[in-house]
């Protein structure tokens, strides 16, 4: 057991960790390689993050794998990313099963290539009974688009008299988001030194703690996750209350 893991209070770990896996391109460029090389070497970081979360008992991890804006990248890179996603999911299925990892996806999945959709749907079906960790891939995902779609769907129900406008509350909105089956995010980690949310889980991160690290994603390891957890546990999460109220409740 690492010293960092021993420093973590396992009774106060984040239930849901979201990660913006940034820096693959810069990692590859620093080695004189094409950007795709960085994406290929990011798999170890994913494995390490999931394993670290499993060690501390976190139940949900959501990875920002491909945003709606990423479609604007060069076609060669997009095609390579989709091919890499397919091969990775197939290759990792035995590991998902062995480690009780349930695969989930959020985003405009219909925009993905048919082959990618088919493999993703199959992996989700194959792992649906796993219960240790839910690993969600945000694919063709944009939070603003997600919220717009939710508003449209809710509006249709109001127009069709299926929903009373006065009954619309946070729960109704939650139930119309891609993440309807996920809890709110407790901790968001972004690698590579960038300090932005980049249209990721805007609604779901309303009270999340944000953690930024200079480490490029392909170099991210368990110990780096533990650093984020330790930092998270040293913060006071008030949810709009005062410190005194938090102390009384504890």
Task: Give the three-state DSSP class for 34.
Answer: coil
Q: For 81-84, which contacts have Cβ atoms below 8 Å and span 24 or more sequence positions?
A: 81/36, 81/39, 82/112, 82/113, 82/115, 82/116, 84/36, 84/39, 84/40
Is 2 annotated to bind a ligand? Reply is no
Is 197 annotated to bind a ligand? Reply is yes
Instruction: Report the C-alpha gap between 179 and 69 in whole angstroms.
Output: 19
Q: Smallest Cα–Cα separation from 60: which of 165, 139, 133?
A: 133
Is 198 annotated to bind a ligand? Reply is yes
C-alpha gyration radius of the chain: 19
Q: Is 70 considered catalytic here?
A: yes
Is 95 annotated to bind a ligand? Reply is no
Is 238 annotated to bind a ligand? Reply is no
Is 196 annotated to bind a ligand? Reply is yes
CA dihedral 217, 219, 222, 226 (to 10 degrees): -70
Going by DSSP bridges, is the β-strand pair 133-141/16-20 parallel, antiparallel, or unpaired? unpaired
Is 172 annotated to bind a ligand? Reply is no
Is 234 annotated to bind a ligand? Reply is no
Is 140 annotated to bind a ligand? Reply is no
Q: Is 22 considered catalytic here?
A: yes
Task: Give the three-state DSSP class for 141.
Answer: strand
Active-site hit among 9, 11, 15, 22:
22
Is 31 annotated to bind a ligand? Reply is no
Is 160 annotated to bind a ligand? Reply is no
Under 8 Å CB-to-CB from 118, ≥6 apart: which residues? none
Active-site hit among 70, 149, 174, 199:
70
Positions marked catalytic: 22, 70
> Which segments are annotated as binding site for Mg(2+)?
22, 209
> Which segments are annotated as binding site?
22-27, 35, 39, 67-69, 71, 73, 190, 196-198, 209
> Which segments are annotated as binding site for substrate?
23-27, 35, 39, 67-69, 71, 73, 190, 196-198
């Amino acid at each position: 057991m690492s010293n960092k893991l021993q420093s973590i209070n396992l009774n106060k770990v984040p239930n849901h960790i979201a990660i913006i896996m940034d820096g693959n391109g810069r990692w590859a460029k620093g080695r004189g390689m094409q950007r795709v090389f960085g994406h290929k070497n990011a798999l170890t970081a994913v494995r390490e993050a999931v394993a670290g979360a499993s060690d501390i008992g976190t139940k949900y991890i959501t990875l920002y794998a491909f945003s709606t804006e990423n479609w604007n990248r060069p076609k060669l890179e997009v095609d390579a990313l989709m091919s890499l996603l397919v091969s990775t999911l197939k290759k990792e299925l035995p590991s998902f099963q062995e480690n009780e990892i349930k695969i989930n996806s959020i985003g405009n999945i219909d925009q993905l290539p048919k082959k990618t959709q088919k493999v993703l749907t199959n992996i989700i079906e194959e792992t649906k009974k796993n219960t240790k960790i839910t690993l969600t891939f945000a694919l063709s995902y944009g939070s603003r688009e997600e919220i717009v779609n939710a508003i449209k769907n809710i509006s249709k129900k109001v127009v069709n008299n299926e929903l009373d406008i006065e009954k619309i509350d946070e729960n109704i909105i939650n139930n119309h988001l891609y993440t309807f089956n996920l809890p709110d995010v407790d901790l968001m980690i972004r690698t590579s030194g960038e300090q932005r949310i980049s249209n990721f889980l805007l609604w779901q991160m309303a009270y999340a703690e944000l953690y930024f690290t200079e480490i490029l994603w392909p170099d991210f390891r368990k110990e780096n996750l533990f650093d984020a957890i330790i930092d998270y546990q040293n913060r006071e999460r008030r949810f709009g209350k005062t410190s005194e109220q938090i102390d009384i409740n504890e």
